[in-house]
Amino acid sequence: MISRSPDLFKFRGVVSPRNLRSFHHRHPPPPPAPTMSDLRPPEHQVAGHRASANKLGPLVDGSGLFYKPLQAGDRGEQERAFYEAFSAHAAVPPRIRDAFFPRFHGTRLLPTEARPGEPHPHLVLDDLLAGLQAPSVADIKIGAITWPPSSPEPYVAKCLAKDRGTTSVLLGFRVSGVRVVAPGGAVWRPERPELKALGTAGVRRVLRRYVSSVSGEVADCALAAAVYGGEGGVLSQLRELKAWFEEQTLFHFYSASILLGYDADAVSATGAGGGVRVKLVDFAHVAEGDGVIDHNFLGGLCSLIKFISDIVSEAPETPPLAP
């Protein structure tokens, strides 16, 4: 069971998402409010709505912060409630919070291009790709089931159709977005319909291409050892996350994603390192765990681990010599 201290925010999961109490007193004061001219849509965004004159979308300020507009309806409050509960939860190991989650700096009203004169509340989070010169990024939505069990019928039906229409039910995850930077700087970024249409073989191809150093269709997996394998690589980080998911019964992360990132410049130049990042994002549908592990996320995570470890096993140990 989740132990709840009465003076902590009570996370109510999807059942009762509204709790508007301010938590600024528990977070370090965020830096001075950025003006609209400081803010821009993140260059490397691979999933979700892109901020524009017509749409709200995430913004970055170039100094390490990421501003995510609160989503409409319950979702925005739900995600804020999760961040507040998670940030303060005594049972979350600090190492897990620091390694695998964006740091939460509270919420902030910001001007937006889409709604001039009507400041919109944003979650203030760490920019997970800050410091990467040439970020290769993948957004992978985890879980065969993306709807919290308490969801109303029409929402279940809508999610189920998407989960069956993509690889979620079959593989326990789906690739929601990907961006790969080749050594010359060429960027491969398939459109959403292409990603939605992927089957098992297509997902395997994308995960291979994510660690390939060529810009064409052929995936050489030259970066697999450096990015997926080795100490601090994706695989070792995913396995650490898995160990936590085998035990944690606090939260069920429906419809959350694992964001992978590495610096294509750094990893190509050195053949190792490259600031590999493995982070959880998108918490609008998190539910209370209530003493039960998140078997749905865990199963999908294990499936992703198998895909990636298969690629590491097949891949060359070191990058091939230049021709």
Q: How far apart are CA 145 and CA 160, in angstroms?
A: 7
Interface with a second copy (CB under 8 A), residue total 27
Using the rule CB under 8 A, which residue among 160, 162, 189, 215 binds a second copy? Answer: 160
Among 92, 170, 187, 214, binds a second copy (CB under 8 A): 170
Q: Which of 164, 243, 269, 318 binds a second copy (CB under 8 A)?
A: 164
Q: Does 146 bind a second copy (CB under 8 A)?
A: no
- In whole angstroms, how close is the CB of 104 to a second copy at the nearest point? 27
What's the one-letter identity of residue 18? R
- Site membership for a second copy, residue 200 (CB under 8 A): yes
Of 71 and 303, CB closest to a second copy: 303
Nearer to a second copy, 131 or 165 (CB): 165
Smallest separation (angstroms) from a second copy to the CB of 53: 41
3-class DSSP assignment, residue 38 = helix
**Beta bridge mates, 107:** 123
Which residues on adjacent β-strands are paired with residue 262?
136
Does 291 engage in binding with a second copy (CB under 8 A)? yes
Q: Provide the token pair at 11.
A: 């996370």
81 binds a second copy (CB under 8 A): no
* Stretch (H or E) spanning 255: none
Contact residue for a second copy among 211, 284, 303, 315 (CB under 8 A): 303
- CB atoms under 10 Å from CB of 220, counted, come to 17
Task: Specify whether the backbone of 62 is left (phi greater than 0), alpha (psi in -120 to 50) or beta.
Answer: left
Does the protein bind a second copy through residue 233 (CB under 8 A)?
Answer: no
Q: Mark the segment that binds a second copy (CB under 8 A) among 30-38, 129-137, 180-188, 298-306.
A: 298-306
- What are phi and psi for residue 54, nearest 5 degrees? -105, -20
What letters, b where the CB count within 10 A reaches 16 and e where it falls short, cover 84-112?
bbbbbbeebeeebeeebbbbbbbbbebbb
Which spans of this chain sit near a second copy (rule: CB under 8 A)? 144-145, 149, 156, 160, 164, 169-172, 200, 246-247, 249, 290-293, 295-296, 298-300, 302-303, 305-306
